[in-house]
Chains A and B, each alone.
Chain A
């Protein structure tokens, strides 16, 4: 969590994840460290730029007392980045958007050396963020428990925060069957979009005939507007590795892959470092934690193909092939990598496992709603005041997430719709915002949970344009194997052009609906089957925008 209990020795936590990096976190972190080392007086040139700042190491003569400036993962409110948390005897304070030049002022405040009180410090006062606001208060961090607290590049930090404790316990005390029992009881469902019961999937893999098995982590987070998995990878990679190792033990796998999209270089770097550190600590590799259990994990990097999030395409890609899906059955749980039973789960699913083992499946199942247990991480973005990452109990209403936590439209206007599920999902209109966020409710509205991207759409955006945006995405990402997706999405895009350009006819509307139905029903994989969803859901909830786009004479 972002706010921590009061602590005697003050400390700064600076977010060094991608979102804040793109807002300038690296020079800020370097400036904070330099200021901390220099006793509060920033050396010249700190603010000059990234490169110069990175090169500065602790070099000042007499530091008064060591001030820890910790590099951490996501502090949630990405839109206000770069974020810095100050933990001290009075609890946590959070600052957003600080320039490197303000680092010295902050360090002076932390040390009690500032000439002005915080509330009057011009360098800081307008940057302090309210940690009591609903955006933070309503979060329930389980998967993100350590994200923003631990230094993701130091396994010692993760170990001190409890990482790998469940793996050790499980290996020494529980049978694989007993582990699966807890996962079954938790009611956990796949967080990658499909919502398949995780315990059932683990059982299916475990109960295949004897032989080699694999575990695969799907970290090919490709939905535009989704950055949940990236935050876990960048902020607390050891939690993911622990969850994956527990899964491997539970299904009898001794080898596994983490398939990460190449667009996440920092996540890849930190994951590789985490793997190396875990091996050094004997938490991966042969005879883990002194037991007979062995596990080798490797990172495989994608190369820019959204379709590789589809599990059979992902398997092809791991094996060095074109990322094209194949027909199922056989399912990967029966025949996956090199024909062996393969467990594929998404990042958030694996990362939920340690807490389930620690607290028990029943404890986890008590959170959330019927059929959708536990918590879900969402990335909030678009036409919204607070862009960032939230982890909330399932069953919470969309309105609570978007309006109460997200603060609604930044310009004070009304929210028009919320897009969930990315290019496979749909748009939920504002008048249905009281819908609970769970797998079934979102499906019944023609959208889907998806991996957790939530993009808020403001009044100024026309829905046929939203539909066209997603269709263009699908055209660009179709693998080209089956004709409905390869050629059907192209035709759907051309039809949507006519609506956006206000030159459609009634026949176009009919063709649009017929072709959507055909592509949905006949495409080979999930990408094609779901490609019409953004059109179908906007047709369902915003049909008047399509009929209004019919040109004269129709």
Chain B
């Protein structure tokens, strides 16, 4: 990897060089600092990964390499942990994220129909991201807003979905939220 690594396009896997020895991938001072603060403890791996994800929005491989080295952990162990937990992202996140809750209360109140409507509208399966990185449709399993069920979370803002039995009205509502309509409009 050259020193002047360009910022990778969303969704593109950055090229990395994993040979030992100091390299640019050890050079992210923010990560180095947070690991120092954390005390270089291997058992703090999950905390460290949370903080790295806050910095980058996801867990780029060079960052995982830096974390593994600083905590003196095997690379495969770090990757195993990062890929185990659903909240850790190994790919750059989409620009817009629509997450539909499929917890039991939402399910009983029609969350499945809401999810199906969103899949049709965005032209995406659950937990899929558009190739151009603009939209991602995700599923959540209960965010505890059971009183408002069924709910969706659009770019971090929670909405309670009305009118599930009227597809047209539901569609209007989704339009009012700014969701693009149809696969062809991407």
Contact = CB atoms under 8 A, between A and B. Distances in A.
Nearest to B45: A320
Interface in B83-111: 84-88, 102-105, 107-109
B35 to A, nearest CB: 13
A300 interface: yes
Interface stretch (B3-11, B14-22, B147-155, B173-181): B147-155
B43 A22 contact: no
A226 B145 CA distance: 10
Nearest to A387: B147
Contacts, number: 133
B103 A323 contact: no
A320 B43 contact: yes
Contact of A19 (B41, B45, B144): B144
B65 interface: no
Interface string B27-64: 00000000000000111111101100000000000000
A453 B107 CA distance: 14
Interface residues of A, number: 53
A227 B144 contact: yes
B147 A422 contact: no
A322 B81 contact: yes
Judged by DSSP, the binding face of A is mixed
B128 to A, nearest CB: 15
B169 interface: no
B146 A387 contact: yes
B125 interface: no
A456 B104 CA distance: 9
B105 A224 contact: yes
A301 B147 contact: no
A322 B141 contact: no
A458 B104 contact: no
Interface residues of B, number: 38
B108 A455 contact: yes
B104 A303 contact: no
Given A224-B105, A224-B141, A303-B50, A23 B147 contact: yes
B148 A22 contact: yes
A486 interface: no
Given A319-B43, A383-B109, A305 B84 contact: yes
A225 to B, nearest CB: 4
Interface string A447-476: 000000101111001000010011001001
Given A224-B103, A262-B87, A322-B81, A383 B108 contact: yes
Contacts of B81: 320-322
Given A22-B151, A303-B87, A456-B108, A264 B144 contact: yes
B107 A381 contact: no
A379 interface: yes
A318 interface: yes
Contacts of B148: 19, 22-23, 79, 81
Contact of B105 (A18, A264, A455): A455
B42 A473 contact: no
Contact of A461 (B47, B49, B50, B108): B108
Contacts of B47: 300-301, 320
Contact of B149 (A223, A381, A469): A381
A419 interface: yes
B142 interface: yes
A78 interface: yes
A78 B146 contact: yes
A112 interface: no
A283 B84 CA distance: 37
Contacts of B45: 320-321
Nearest to A81: B147
B163 interface: no
A419 B104 contact: yes
A388 B88 CA distance: 31
A302 interface: yes
A322 B142 CA distance: 22
A304 B145 contact: no
Contact of A457 (B42, B108, B112): B108
A95 interface: no
A129 to B, nearest CB: 13
A306 interface: yes
Interface string B113-128: 0000000000000000
B143 interface: yes
Interface in A1-36: 18-19, 22-23
Interface of A: 18-19, 22-23, 78-81, 222-227, 230, 262-264, 300-306, 317-323, 379, 381-383, 387-388, 419, 422, 453, 455-458, 461, 466, 469-470, 473, 476-477, 479
27 contacts: A19-B144, A19-B146, A22-B145, A22-B147, A22-B151, A23-B148, A78-B146, A224-B102, A224-B103, A225-B142, A226-B142, A230-B144, A303-B50, A303-B85, A303-B87, A304-B87, A304-B88, A318-B43, A319-B43, A320-B46, A321-B77, A381-B104, A382-B146, A455-B104, A455-B105, A466-B107, A469-B112
Given A306-B141, A320-B45, A321-B45, 17 more contacts: A23-B160, A78-B147, A225-B142, A227-B144, A263-B140, A301-B47, A302-B85, A303-B49, A303-B50, A317-B46, A320-B41, A320-B46, A320-B47, A321-B81, A382-B105, A457-B108, A469-B112
